[in-house]
């Protein structure tokens, strides 16, 4: 037990190594206030004399300075009033005292104003620095020296403003990156949710229907029941492979589009999808018009998921006794995919179909299609239900070209 305690303590200490230590906010504020007060009081020569003659109490100048600088603690929440206080105190000191010209508080307040307020509000603050700086310059000899001194002070104030403005821009860029990162995470979660829905929904629908059929014929036709259970096993294995593929994509550190294209299903996998659907008992026919062109990987995935979701909905709501038709109409700039069934209307679906439905399939499908630049229409036809999408196509493959102007419309394939 002692050894285990030592190991845990060692690992706990080891995890702390290299972590940046967060400085408390109050300590930072106190340090800023201390530095500014020190700088302002260092320029004071302990002269309590007034311009009109006479002196003030020795403690009055340090007390007034500390009181005015204490407002810097509010510079993030109230940058404009804080700068006004600093300008007023500095101007008062310049007019009243001969040897005390505080400026550090003005610079800190001006920097905060430029950081937390837009330029339209912070630039007038820099211009307002002319008042105390001009008062300070009046005691600097001839006019040329006064103008030089005033210019130097305003340049120092301008540099302080510029540093605050640059910090403001950096804060804005960081906030935009955070928002973009949050949006990316949200989009990725939605994409993963759609992928999981498409994979699991189709597989579970097929397996439930096959299991129900196997149970119905188990006592009278064991061979058919065994065949149905084989389909359940095959569909389950295929779904597990797709889930593993999705998990591998989630673990991948790169976003290589070539890897994504080779891992994700597309229309080349349509025959296997139709075979699984037919094995579930649904009669599916396929029609293809035109010359197939190239699809962007994201469009190919959307096309595959469209057919998969539409056939899954047919299995859920119309049942395996219905028939479905899948049509692919290739045109030079778009691909129209139509999936239509002749099942009963939605109100006539079975209790099993209702239990299998989540109500989010078509919503996610519409979002997926719109994401790749396509449009989606879905609704009843009077004799069934239709799902139709128009997707953009890429350039045609050079090796595939129609032999005549009528080849595109004449090329038709019907598979049942």
What are the pLDDT digits (tens) for 365-407? 888 888 888 999 988 888 888 999 999 986 444 333 333 332 3
The verdict on 238 and 314 lying in the same domain is: yes
- Please check whether residues 231 and 106 belong to one and the same domain: no
Instruction: Name the domain count of the chain.
Output: 2
Q: Inform me whether the pLDDT recorded for 96 exceeds 50.
A: yes
Q: Which of 139, 171, 200 is the last residue before a domain boundary?
A: 139
Residue 10: band (very low, low, confident or very high) from pLDDT cuts 50, 70, 90: very low
Query: Is 231 a member of any domain?
Result: yes
Tokens at residue 373, please? 């630049």
CA-CA-CA-CA dihedral for 165, 167, 170, 176, to nearest 10: -80
196, 55: one domain:
no
Q: 240 lies in a domain?
A: yes
Q: Are residues 235 and 383 in the same domain?
A: yes
SS3 assignment, position 119:
helix
Task: Kindly state the percentage of the chain with pLDDT values over 70.
Answer: 74
pLDDT above 90 covers a percentage of the chain that reads 23
* Domain-located, residue 18: no
Number of helical H runs and strand E runs in the chain: 15, 6
Which pLDDT score, from 0 to 100, does residue 162 have?
95
Torsion from C-alpha of 222, 224, 226, 228, nearest 10 degrees: -140
Q: Are residues 237 and 349 in the same domain?
A: yes
Same domain? For 355 and 237 the reply is yes
Measured CA to CA, the distance from residue 338 to residue 329 in angstroms comes to 8
Q: Is the pTM of this model over 0.85?
A: no
Residues 404 and 291 in one domain: yes
Q: List the domain range (segments joined by +) for residue 102.
A: 23-139
- CA 227 from centre of chain: 46
pLDDT at 295 (0 to 100): 85
| Residues written for the chain | 416
Last residue in a domain, options 74, 108, 139: 139
Strand 375-380 and strand 323-330: the pairing is: unpaired
329 with 224, same domain? yes
pLDDT higher for 176 or 265? 176
Which of 254, 295, 288, 258 lies closest to 271 in space, CA to CA?
A: 288
292-337 pLDDT per residue, tens: 888 888 888 889 989 988 898 888 877 767 889 999 999 988 999 9
């Amino acid at each position: 037990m002692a050894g285990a305690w030592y190991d845990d303590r060692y690992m706990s200490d080891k995890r702390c190594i290299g972590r940046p230590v967060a400085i408390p906010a109050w300590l930072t504020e106190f340090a800023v206030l201390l530095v500014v007060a020190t700088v302002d009081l260092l320029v004071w020569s302990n002269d309590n004399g007034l311009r009109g003659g006479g002196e003030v109490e020795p403690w009055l100048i340090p007390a007034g300075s500390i009181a005015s600088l204490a407002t810097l603690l509010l510079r993030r929440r109230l940058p404009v009033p804080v700068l006004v206080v600093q300008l007023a105190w500095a101007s008062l000191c310049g007019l009243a005292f001969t040897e005390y010209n505080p400026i550090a508080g003005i610079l800190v307040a001006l920097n905060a104003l430029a950081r937390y307020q837009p330029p339209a509000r912070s630039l007038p603050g820099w211009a307002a620095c002319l008042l105390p700086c001009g008062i300070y310059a009046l005691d600097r000899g001839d006019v040329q020296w006064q103008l030089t001194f005033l210019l130097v002070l305003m340049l120092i104030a301008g540099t302080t403003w510029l540093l605050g403005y640059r910090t403001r821009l950096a804060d804005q860029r960081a906030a935009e990156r955070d928002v973009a990162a949050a949006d990316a995470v949200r989009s990725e979660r939605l994409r993963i949710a759609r992928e999981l829905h498409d994979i699991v929904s189709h597989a579970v629908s097929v397996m439930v229907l096959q299991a129900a059929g196997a149970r119905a014929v188990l006592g009278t036709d064991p061979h058919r029941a065994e065949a149905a259970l084989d389909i359940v096993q095959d569909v389950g294995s295929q779904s597990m492979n797709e889930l593993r593929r999705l998990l591998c994509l989630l673990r991948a550190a790169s976003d290589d589009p070539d890897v994504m294209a080779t891992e994700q299903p597309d229309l080349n996998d349509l025959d296997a999808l139709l075979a699984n659907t037919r094995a579930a008992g649904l009669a599916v026919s396929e029609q293809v018009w035109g010359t197939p062109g190239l699809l962007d990987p994201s469009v190919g995935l959307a096309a595959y998921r469209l057919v998969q979701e539409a056939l899954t909905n047919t299995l859920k709501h119309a049942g395996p006794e219905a028939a479905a038709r899948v049509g692919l109409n290739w045109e030079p700039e778009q691909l129209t995919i139509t999936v239509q069934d002749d099942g009963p209307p939605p109100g006539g679906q079975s209790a099993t179909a209702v239990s299998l439905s989540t109500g989010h399939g078509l919503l996610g499908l519409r979002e997926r299609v719109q994401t790749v630049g396509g449009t989606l229409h879905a609704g009843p036809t009077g004799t069934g239900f239709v799902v139709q999408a128009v997707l953009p196509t890429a350039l045609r493959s050079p090796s595939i070209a129609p032999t005549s102007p009528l080849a595109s419309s004449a090329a038709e394939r019907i598979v049942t």
